[in-house]
Structures are given as C-alpha cells and as structure tokens.
Amino acid sequence: MDFEMGGKAAELRTELRELVKEHVPEHYLGAFTDDPNDLEIAQRFCRMLAERELLCLSWPQEFGGGGASVWEQTVVREEMWAHHEPRGAQYMGVNWVGPIIMRHGTDEQQRTHLPPIARGEVIWCQGFSEPEAGSDLASLRTSARRDGDGWLVSGQKIWTSYATMAQWCFLLARTSKVGEGATQKKQQGLTIFLVPMDNPAIQVRPIRCMMGPHHLNEVFFDDLRVTEADVLGTVDHGWSIVQDVMAFERVGIARYARCERLLAAAPAVLGDRWDDLPGELRGRWIRMLTHCRRARLMAYRVVSLQSSGRIQPGDAAAYRIAVTKLDQDSAEVLMDIAAEVPPDAARATWFLGEVEDHWKYSQASTVSSGSIEMQRILLSRAMLAVAR
C-alpha cells in the first residue's frame, strides 16, 4: 500500500521533523505533565508554527490559515501526534473549534476567535460530558434558563481536558426542556455557547489520574450569565453542531502515527536482542504494524469524505473503533517488547519512557471522545440504513 502524498507533502514532513528535533527535547512527553516548562515548550512551538504559517495550514487564508490542502494538514496532524503533540492543547482549536466556528459562527465570532487560534495564543476546552451524560450526551442536565436578554447557566461538566489552562470553553447546555413546545426529543433544545473561562461563575476542580495533570477536570457553572452574542448557531439546535464536532474530533488525532513510530523504533532499540525475541511476540509486532496501516487508510478515507462534505457518523465511527483498539493492542505489544530492552541500550531511557506514556494514554482511548460501544452503535445504525 502506497501512502505517499506527493513531493510537497514529503518536504513538509521533513520540515516538521526537523523543527521538532530542533525545538522539542527528546524526552518530551507532552505539555500536560507536572513540569510547567513542558506547557511553555508547547506554547513556544505553537507560536513558531503559526509564524511559519504551519499551525493552521489548511485553514482559508482569510481566517489566518495557509490555504493548503487537507492532505498537508494531515501530514501536520500525523507528525505532531507521532512526537507527543508539541502543539499541546492547540490541536483542539486547530482541528475542530476553529473549523466549527467557520461553519456556524457569526462574523463577530469569527473575528474574535479565529485569529488567536491561528496565532497559537489561545487554549480551548470542551464542556460536553457530565456525570450522568457521557456517551449518551443528549441526556445532559446543565441548563441555561432565560433571564432577560440572556441566560443563566448552571450545572456540572466532567472529564474536561485542559480546563485549568483554557481561556475559552465550547459549552453545550439545555435551553428547552424535553416535552415542552417543539422540543420532543432529547437531542432537541440544546444550545452551544462560547464562554470565557475566567468568569467567576465558573469553578474548575482537577481530577488526579495516571495520565498527569490537566487531562481530567470537573467544571461547575453557578448562574453563569451568557447572551445572544455567545450563542454558536441557532438556539435549541445545537445537536447538529455537536455531530459536526464529533466528525472532526474523532479523526483529528492521528493515533496510528505514534503507534507506528514506536513499533518501528523497537528493533533498533533492542539491537542484537531483537532476533532473540519469541516468535509469537514478533508476530504480534508485525500484526500491529499491519493494523497501523489499516488505521491510516481508514483515516485517509474519512479525511477525503470530510473534505468533500460527504462524511457520515458511521464513517468516523469505523475509523474510531479501529484506531482506539490499535492504541490499546499496540501498547500491550510494546510493553512486552520493552521488558526485553537491555538497560544499557543506546536509547533505552527514551524508548521505555515513550512506551510507558503510550500505555497510560491508551487505557482511556476506548472511552474518551465517545466510548467504543457508542461507536459500534453508530456504525451498526449506518450499516442497517444502507441495508434498507
């Protein structure tokens, strides 16, 4: 299978790898560690990419982008994720917050929010999941009740990544109760609000986890005042925007790229010990490389459909199932290989740190951004619809 995208994409990939090598320490494991310097590394790297017009490469030029193809942006996505996402939390703004605001935002919202994202200056968080509304997101209880010319938002969100460092929140709340007026289904009566995180009516409480700080938080809204200017799209019709978000978000992280990079590095790290590995383990290693290529092919199909406006929930779900399973299965193989790495191997410290971090992150991959069970339901519905 030939995955080459042409000379221009190859040059871009080389440029990005050189920039990572020059500006990101070898043992960097992402921005969300106990060391605040790691976040600053990511912020500096983001600003540098923006100055080179590489951060939002495929955005239209009028919104601060480079006007490049979606395939060039795919190269950026792959190289960033392969090297522990040195853009930090910016991928959220770049991959889906910005594009969603382009599609659904007012002129004023576009002027306010798109330039700071394109410059790498702002971090967003997503106010979707709740204690009793994760995979069944439409069951959320956070409410926005009318108050004069605006609303007062009250409720709780959970598992909110980057909430302690974010300046803005992409917030979903219920503006009409189910059973009242035109709101007859739980997917109706929901509205997206774009709200600043420095509002005193918002309280963030970190949740400690093995992935490190910033990954998981609780966010509480206590009569947060929002206005019409904060509404993205149409009041009570936020669910269609949520579906757009999911389509962008679920293909936005090139998980297969990091899996493939670590799997490909294993033989060189083990050196002469590689040939002494059990045949069964090397067979599993080969199988994972094959699955990396399968996930890459599925990602490219979704990117192509997305760019032509033909993507359906089932397309993104199929890719999501494959790539999250790859995350976990490859992590298990890599952990078994890591156990055989000689302590005096040239890159032992680097490889062991990378593999451990990959394993930790993979444990949540089949739950985050929609559980794998929900992805299977979406895929099944899509297949049944075609069969009819």
pLDDT in tens, 164-181: 999 999 999 999 999 888
Assess if residue 90 is contained within a domain: yes
**Number of other CB atoms surrounding residue 110 within 10 Å:** 16
Alpha carbon distances (Å) from 243 to 96, 161, 337, 359, 362: 11, 19, 39, 29, 24
Q: Which of 203, 236, 269 is the last residue of a domain?
A: 236
**pLDDT at residue 230 above 80?**
yes
Same domain? For 320 and 203 the reply is: no
Note whether 87 and 14 are same-domain residues.
yes
How far from chain centre, in Å, is Cα 272? 38
pLDDT digit string, tens, across residues 235-288: 999 999 998 887 776 566 788 999 999 999 999 999 999 999 999 999 999 999
Q: Is residue 58 domain-resident?
A: yes
- Whether the predicted pLDDT of 312 surpasses 80: no
Cα distances from 187 to residues 179, 227, 255, 317, in angstroms, run 12, 22, 30, 19
Residue 246 lies in a domain: no
Q: What percent of the chain has pLDDT over 70?
A: 96
Based on the domain organization, do 262 and 383 belong to the same domain? Answer: yes
Tokens of 193: 């609000």
pLDDT of 213 strictly over 80: no
DSSP 3-state of 205: strand
Q: Average the pLDDT over each of 78-92, 121-135, 331-345, 374-388 and give the range with the smallest value.
A: 374-388
Is residue 304 located within the same domain as residue 200? no
| Residues 145, 102 share a domain | no
Give pLDDT, residue 369.
66
Report yes or no on 114 lying in a domain: yes
Considering 67, 94, 122, which residue would you say is the last residue of a domain?
A: 122
pLDDT at 250: 59
Strands (E), the chain: 124-127, 143-147, 150-157, 168-174, 190-196, 202-206, 217-227, 231-232
Range of the domain at 91: 7-122
Residue 35 lies in a domain: yes
Q: Are residues 146 and 205 in the same domain?
A: yes
- With vertex at residue 65, the alpha carbon angle to CA 109 and CA 50, rounded to the nearest 5 degrees, is 105
Q: Is residue 2 part of a domain?
A: no
Instruction: Write phi, then psi, for 169 (nearest 5 degrees).
Output: -125, 135
What is the pLDDT averaged over residues 71-86?
A: 92
Distance, in Å, from the CA atom of 18 to the CA atom of 10, rounded to the nearest integer, reads 12
Where a domain ends, among 122, 151, 185?
A: 122
How far is it, in rounded angstroms, from Cα 361 to Cα 326? 12
Q: What is the pLDDT of residues 100-143, one digit of tens each?
A: 999 999 999 999 999 999 999 999 999 999 998 877 889 999 99
- 178's CB contacts (< 8 A; 6+ apart) are 184, 185, 186, 188, 189
* Mean pLDDT to the nearest integer, 208-233: 90
Asked, for residue 130, whether it belongs to a domain, the answer is yes
Question: Does 146 share its domain with 171?
Answer: yes
CATH code of the domain covering residue 148:
2.40.110.10
Other Cβ atoms within 10 Å of 183 Cβ, number: 17
The number of domains in the chain is 3
**371-382 confidence digits (pLDDT tens):** 778 778 878 888
Q: Which pLDDT value is given to residue 185?
A: 92
Q: Is residue 380 part of a domain?
A: yes
